[in-house]
Structure 1
Amino acid sequence: MCECDVQRLGSSIPEYRGIVGEEQVQRFLGNESHKDHFKLLEKDQNSLLVGARNIVYNISLRDLSEFTEQRIEWYSSPAHRELCYLKGKSDDDCQNYIRVLAKIADNKLLICGTNAYKPLCRNYLLKNGDYVFEKEYEGRGLCPFDPDHNSTAIYSGGQLYSATVADFSGTDPLIYREPLRTERSDLKQLNAPNFVSTMEYDDFIFFFFRETAVEYINCGKTVYSRVARVCKHDKGGPHQFGDRWTSFLKSRLNCSVPGDYPFYFNEIQSTSEIIEGTYGDQVQKLIYGVFATPVNSIGGSAVCAFSIRSILETFEGPFKEQETMNSNWLAVQSMKVPEPRPGQCVNDSRTLPDVSVNFVKSHTLMDEAVPAFFARPIMIRISLQYRFTKIAVDQQVRTPDGKSYDVLFIGTDDGKVIKALNADSFDSDKTVNSVVVEELQVLPPGVPVTNLYVVRMDGDDSKLVVVSDDEIQAIKLHRCNSDKITNCRECVALQDPYCAWDTTEQRCTAVGSPDWSAGKRRFIQNITKGEHKACGRPVAEEVAPAVPSQQTTKANGAKLPSSQEKLPIYTAETLSIAVATSCLAALAVGFVSGFLFSRRCRGEDYSDMPFPDQRHQLNRLTESSLNADAAYLPPCANNKAAINLVLNVPPKNANGKNANSSAENKPIQKVKKTYI
């Protein structure tokens, strides 16, 4: 957990304030008196541009210090703030939170802010090391009104593509590139979306978001994850469709546990950038995504990967439609699809026939969902304490044996960062072997991770930047040199692509070693199994193999760091002996206790009765609730014959009269009857 002192924001001197385990981390703070709503907007090899409350910070990646001379301050005007107050917003709401930033040239920036719920955009020019204001224009459709709204944007080909809302109330979502936008109030195109990310690939712009599923509306209400696609060269349709997309299509993302009844993680939270690597025997381009279950469901999160090839193939598949209001959503027959195929990229979309434009306007949803790469989630975590929020990937980290792995860094809404990977990814694209290398409490508990960024630098300076609403931290990508890693087995058991045991130096060393390419002879590592025969037998097996070790182990028994410690696992034989012994002891104690209790409670007056059942029944008959002070009523002493308990009638004499009847003729009196 971080234990950090308070530091004044914007300091140009780097300070090491946080502690993760035994590791000191770098921190950058913003305005400590107000919520900053940090948003990582632009990054390059040397710095990060971070949008905040009325400020754009330029932060060095080397030590998280700020380039104060390149800070951009942009405050809302008093008139705009006054109008914001009249709309019922608080003073914190009526600030200018920078949400969009793009480098439109080497020395020119495009910046958009909420501007007290009246979005504006500006261009800034870099002159003599300072950013100078150039011009200002309307930001509606490019920037959200609310800093908490999930919006995303990307600058490509000289134009800004944005996914946000176009009104104050947030009820008009749109995907926009001037002058084109999605349809207004058309639930088939966008239905209460939460936008996650935007990226470009070839001639396409992809938008990832979650929304209320219109195809499920007849069965209830649920949220599905989507990927939408538009063409960069879309110029709008003919005639009245001149300001509408002709290439907007969307598909469902399927992140689920396979089976007869799949378990779905329906709500996408974050995506990585496009990752290119070798998986199995083929080269693929993947996008990793973080998914979660609904907040009112079982608390679960998962990480799934999707290939660009599968996404593009889905957009070439059949369309989905609902013929009538009460019909199911089914695939459109190929004979009903007009020519040229709607939604394709063409040189001039304004020449498309009206029938194709009308079709794609009402058939934006594809029938097939995008399947998960590896055919299943890479990692699943069921927890009531936290859910996944963000993901960053250090792609294709090479190991001494020549293999490469994607290392996943996953942020949670409880301040944790989890490092994981698929140990089978290099050898197969059909299987998953999830390995959690470590789980760190980077931010204070309850503080969500809002962004992650992997910074690759020369030597051992590579780091992971962790962003929250109010602070930015930088931690190391690995902890190979930790004091807890003292021998070969412990180093190999990490299953960390960054770490290998150096047989020459006799220590756990990190990726980037000058001799890392020396390969298997010098460095010992096994990502798949977490054990290696060159490390020898574990000490616990040599000394007392029959006694379970009290140390936390992984795979073959190597001691792990505290971030990986698990409860000890006992063998089936030990468990069987324990269960059998417990059962026999319980039977013996129960028998003895029952026997002693029965002897104690047995009545001495009925000890001569031959049958235990008869004595038990008579004891029941003699119990009475009339006398609260007595445990039972003793049998009445008289000379009259006993009552026949079986037939419940009195016995008779030889003359046929009841034995218990009086000789005198007396009137019949009422008696109290007790039913047992």
Structure 2
Amino acid sequence: MMKSQVALLYVLIIMSKGSAQSMKPRRSVFFSDVNLKLFKEPDFDGLSSVLVREDIGQLFIGARGKIITLSLDDITKKTKEINWIVTSKEKALCQMKGKSIEVCDNYITLMHTLNDGRILVCGTKAFDPTCTHLMFEEGNVTMEDSFENGRGKVPFDPNENFASLVNGNTLYTAGTINFLGTVKSFQRHGRNSLMTEQIWSWLKGPNMISMKFAEISKHSYNNEDDSVFLFLTEIGIENQRNHLRLSRVARVCKSDMGGLRTLQRKWTSFLKAYLDCPFGDEGSTSLVQDVFFLQDEKNVSDSIFYATFTLSPKPSSTCSQSAVCAYKLSDIQQVFRGNFMTETDSGPWVRFTGSYTSPYPRTCINDEMRAKGVRTSRDVLDSDLMFVKNHPLMEQVVTPITGKPLLVGSAAQFSRIVVDKVTSLDGQQHNVMFISNNSGWVQKAVWSGDDGGRIIEELQLSQDPQPIHFLQLSSRSGQLYSTTRTAVVQLSVRDCSRYRSCADCLIARDPYCGWDRLTGLCAAAAGASNLSMIQNLIDGDVGTCPSSHSFPTVSKQITDIQLTLDVAQFLPCTPDTNLPISWSFSGSILKPSPRHTLLSQGLVLTPSLTDQGLYTCETVEVVKGRKHRKAVIQYHVKISKEEIVGGVNWFQAIVIYILASVCVLCVMLIIYMYWKQKPQNHVGSTSVSYAGTEQPAQKTVLCNCFSGPDTKKTTPTRVEEKAKSTI
């Protein structure tokens, strides 16, 4: 009996932990079970930049004091190592300036491919940023002997965030431009260099996140100039008394040449707007962490920015929440064509109600402006440029295409995101998101307007909990590259081997996978035809599966078990997915009762003589209203009646039972008090709630401040009404 009570105590502890989790990804795959390739060396650390070169099949890794190239097909094959270290004199000088020995090294923080195939490379070089070029000739990578000043291109401090991109041979950067790290700027380098005005209304304590280029002229009816978008967070200028940090998207025009007299060598097209991702409790704001631009080849205005966000909670909050929001380029353009904000004498910014007839800079220069003689920014009137200088902020808010996040998660925070456009066998396109978190996991997710977001699976790519700093995707080869500070991981996004039956393959609705009729395996659907492969991403209908390849039976997994009358026993059920389970007894669905306690990981059975028979544990998955069941394990239970002689044994049994029950209650109370004081943070499985579907009520939530994606929250005081976006 004592053994049974110990087993029951263990179950209750599991139950107390499991009940705190919200909805999970369909499947969690731990590091040992992920089919991946790993590159790691003893002296390899400080990884600070990554570049994928599909044209030459190389992955460039910038780290501390070196640049390493790996084969894109197999990163375990190192093809080149170039050392770029600082001298002892340079390191000593850096330390004399008050910097630690660790940061007084050369961290390769920038790598971009130029039009001529060379790679622009910049390093921090012991707080003296320096740039050079890499060349790839006849299969060999070499570094040029000439070097140039890199100040303003990369920060002095390797730990500072910055953003950059190259368009053609033109470099754009946003970050710190001085040694002390007190001045930050958004710049274009080269012959016609420009930068932001050093006034707080343009940038106030910015943290640069990501930079993207949109080739708007390609599909514009009036040949409007291309745009560069900068995503950042900064202290809001809307209310000077409230030092609230907000997310922003800023925009400049590619052909901006600065002003002729006003705003000389400064952006004349710089505008910014509040970027909203509504989730969390009242008083919290969402801060953008990373952005991926999925460009639409047919119409650039339909392109989508996918962004990860974390909460900036109130000081008293212990919540850790994240979300993914998506924004249509045309919606962002519309915001920048709207009304300006203006600063009042008392401080707060309000809507500008005066007259402003010039279309610049609300739209970049187009054919209509050119017809009126405004061919470059230097043709814009000084009065208009002075207005631009004093009114960088737009009134309208950039809202997500769904009006809310695609998905919201708690526990480990989302960090990086990449998105792949996948064509299914029926010719439809599906955008698959890969989202990393700060505990070394990556989630594969799909969002559709029909059934909202769903997490297909999550993969542990780092054996130890640590942040993933970079995610890079090679759509051509279907490979995902993930990096921490000390290691590089490669895995195929088209790996379908974890779906071991036709039913499991179809119900998962993984756009990469389908059931191969010939081999009888779940395999990559890329390049296959409907004749040889089965795929159903709409509702996962398994009716087309061959009968011999449906869910496998569990006849070989029937476990005979002998139980004692009226003694509690735990029957475990551990499926290979995160789906809810259901129990049946002799063919009938088992419901909770005083003798049957149903838990997320098993069944506690306190049997009577009528409880002998076959118990079956099944996973239950509902797709488009259709319920799918898969047997996990079966128990054939037999009951034995324990003979007890004399009243003393009965008395002892009752005393033991009472004492054990008291112990269980005490332990549960301790667990509850501990949980109340210290919220859980599961690194093995990031809990996620789907923003597009209705969720069942949860008795216990992981984070008490969580109120879901539809919850109203405080927005900056300048916003009188949020703009409604069109799905």
- What's 2:108 paired with? 98
Give the residue type in structure 1 aligned to 2:426.
Answer: D
SS at 1:401 equivalent = coil
Relative to structure 1, the CA distance from residue 127 to residue 406 in structure 2 (aligned partners, 3 Å threshold; closer, same or farther) is: closer
**Does the alignment pair 1:191 with 2:214?**
no
Unaligned runs of 5+ in 2: 1-28, 216-225, 366-374, 554-582, 592-615, 633-727
What is the CA–CA distance in structure 2 between the aligned matches of 1:217 and 1:131, rounded to whole Å?
Answer: 51
For residues 556-603 of structure 1, give each alpha carbon's deviation from its aligned partner in whole angstroms, at most 9, with x where no partner exists.
Answer: 244499xxxxxxxxxxxxxxxxxxxxxxxxxxxxxxxxxxxxxxxxxx
- What's 2:436 paired with? 411
Report if the CA contact (8 A) 1:415-1:446 is conserved. Answer: yes
**Does the alignment pair 1:337 with 2:356?**
yes
Report if the CA contact (8 A) 1:256-1:264 is conserved. Answer: no
Report if the CA contact (8 A) 1:437-1:494 is conserved. Answer: yes
**Does the alignment pair 1:57 with 2:68?**
yes
What is the CA–CA distance in structure 2 between the aligned matches of 1:148 and 1:408, rounded to whole Å?
Answer: 27
**Does the alignment pair 1:381 with 2:409?**
yes
**Does the alignment pair 1:238 with 2:254?**
no
**Does the alignment pair 1:170 with 2:185?**
no
Give the residue type in structure 2 aligned to 1:324.
Answer: D
- What's 1:150 paired with? 161
> Displacement of 1:148 after TM fit?
1.4
> Displacement of 1:264 after TM fit?
6.5
Q: Percent same amino acid among aligned pairs?
A: 28
Report if the CA contact (8 A) 1:38-1:467 is conserved. Answer: no
For residues 264-314 of structure 1, give each alpha carbon's deviation from its aligned partner in whole angstroms, at most 9, with x where no partner exists.
Answer: 7520111113243899xx992111110110265421111111111111111
- What's 1:481 paired with? 497
Report if the CA contact (8 A) 2:328-2:401 is conserved. Answer: yes
Report if the CA contact (8 A) 2:433-2:446 is conserved. Answer: yes
Report if the CA contact (8 A) 2:495-2:523 is conserved. Answer: no
> Displacement of 1:209 after TM fit?
1.2
**Does the alignment pair 1:546 with 2:546?**
no
Aligned counterpart for 1:287 among listed residues 301, 305, 308: 305
> Displacement of 1:60 after TM fit?
1.2
- What's 2:656 paired with? none
Give the residue type in structure 2 aligned to 1:390.
Answer: R
Aligned counterpart for 1:349 among listed residues 377, 391, 405: 377
Which residues in structure 2 correspond to 1:172-321 (within 5 Å)?
A: 172-178=183-189, 179-184=193-198, 186-202=199-215, 203-218=226-241, 220-239=242-261, 241-257=263-279, 266-276=286-296, 284-294=302-312, 296=315, 297=317, 298-321=319-342
For residues 176-215 of structure 1, give each alpha carbon's deviation from its aligned partner in whole angstroms, at most 9, with x where no partner exists.
Answer: 113311122x221111112111121121111111112111
> Displacement of 1:505 after TM fit?
4.2
**Does the alignment pair 1:323 with 2:337?**
no
Is the deviation greater in 174-183 or in 100-109? 100-109
Aligned counterpart for 2:172 among listed residues 137, 141, 161: 161
> Displacement of 1:28 after TM fit?
1.4
- What's 2:397 paired with? 369
Give the residue type in structure 2 aligned to 1:465.
Answer: Y
**Does the alignment pair 1:141 with 2:152?**
yes
What is the CA–CA distance in structure 2 between the aligned matches of 1:452 and 1:183, rounded to whole Å?
Answer: 33
Relative to structure 1, the CA distance from residue 391 to residue 263 in structure 2 (aligned partners, 3 Å threshold; closer, same or farther) is: farther
For residues 202-250 of structure 1, give each alpha carbon's deviation from its aligned partner in whole angstroms, at most 9, with x where no partner exists.
Answer: 21111111112111433x2222111111111111112252121101111
Report if the CA contact (8 A) 1:414-1:448 is conserved. Answer: yes
Report if the CA contact (8 A) 1:331-1:367 is conserved. Answer: yes
**Does the alignment pair 1:131 with 2:142?**
yes
**Does the alignment pair 1:492 with 2:506?**
yes
What is the CA–CA distance in structure 2 between the aligned matches of 1:265 and 1:47, rounded to whole Å?
Answer: 40
Give the residue type in structure 2 aligned to 1:61.
Answer: L
Relative to structure 1, the CA distance from residue 338 to residue 170 in structure 2 (aligned partners, 3 Å threshold; closer, same or farther) is: farther
Is the deviation greater in 36-45 or in 371-380? 36-45
Give the residue type in structure 2 aligned to 1:362.
Answer: N
**Does the alignment pair 1:471 with 2:493?**
no
Q: CA RMSD in A?
A: 3.1
What is the CA–CA distance in structure 2 between the aligned matches of 1:221 and 1:237, rounded to whole Å?
Answer: 32
For residues 313-357 of structure 1, give each alpha carbon's deviation from its aligned partner in whole angstroms, at most 9, with x where no partner exists.
Answer: 11111111222234x422212x43253534543432223222111
SS at 1:551 equivalent = strand
SS at 2:590 equivalent = coil
Report if the CA contact (8 A) 1:165-1:174 is conserved. Answer: yes
Which residues in structure 2 correspond to 1:389-428 (within 5 Å)?
A: 389-395=415-421, 397-424=422-449
SS at 1:214 equivalent = coil
Report if the CA contact (8 A) 1:253-1:370 is conserved. Answer: yes
What is the CA–CA distance in structure 1 between the aligned matches of 2:444 and 2:401, rounded to whole Å?
Answer: 20
* TM-score, length-scaled by structure 2: 0.66
For residues 490-532 of structure 1, give each alpha carbon's deviation from its aligned partner in whole angstroms, at most 9, with x where no partner exists.
Answer: 22221211222344544323222533x43xxx64444344444
More strand per residue: 2
What is the CA–CA distance in structure 2 between the aligned matches of 1:545 and 1:479, rounded to whole Å?
Answer: 37
- What's 2:49 paired with? 39
> Displacement of 1:115 after TM fit?
0.8
SS at 1:83 equivalent = helix
* TM-score, length-scaled by structure 1: 0.71
Report if the CA contact (8 A) 2:233-2:287 is conserved. Answer: yes
Give the residue type in structure 2 aligned to 1:388.
Answer: F
Which residues in structure 2 correspond to 1:648-659 (within 5 Å)?
A: none
SS at 1:217 equivalent = coil
> Displacement of 1:49 after TM fit?
1.7
What is the CA–CA distance in structure 2 between the aligned matches of 1:406 and 1:277, rounded to whole Å?
Answer: 14
Count how many residue pairs are aligned between Structure 1 and Structure 2: 518
Relative to structure 1, the CA distance from residue 82 to residue 560 in structure 2 (aligned partners, 3 Å threshold; closer, same or farther) is: farther
Relative to structure 1, the CA distance from residue 234 to residue 278 in structure 2 (aligned partners, 3 Å threshold; closer, same or farther) is: closer
What is the CA–CA distance in structure 2 between the aligned matches of 1:528 and 1:171, rounded to whole Å?
Answer: 53
What is the CA–CA distance in structure 1 between the aligned matches of 2:517 and 2:283, rounded to whole Å?
Answer: 45
- What's 2:721 paired with? none
Report if the CA contact (8 A) 2:620-2:630 is conserved. Answer: yes
Relative to structure 1, the CA distance from residue 529 to residue 81 in structure 2 (aligned partners, 3 Å threshold; closer, same or farther) is: same
Report if the CA contact (8 A) 2:47-2:61 is conserved. Answer: no
> Displacement of 1:80 after TM fit?
2.5
Larger Rg: 1
What is the CA–CA distance in structure 2 between the aligned matches of 1:82 and 1:41, rounded to whole Å?
Answer: 31
Which residues in structure 2 correspond to 1:73-84 (within 5 Å)?
A: 73-84=83-94
What is the CA–CA distance in structure 1 between the aligned matches of 2:308 and 2:525, rounded to whole Å?
Answer: 27
What is the CA–CA distance in structure 2 between the aligned matches of 1:400 and 1:105, rounded to whole Å?
Answer: 36
> Displacement of 1:422 after TM fit?
0.9
Where relative contact order (Cα < 8 A, 6+ residues apart) is larger, the structure is 2
SS at 1:444 equivalent = coil
> Displacement of 1:133 after TM fit?
1.7
> Displacement of 1:444 after TM fit?
2.7
What is the CA–CA distance in structure 2 between the aligned matches of 1:155 and 1:557, rounded to whole Å?
Answer: 49
SS at 1:256 equivalent = coil
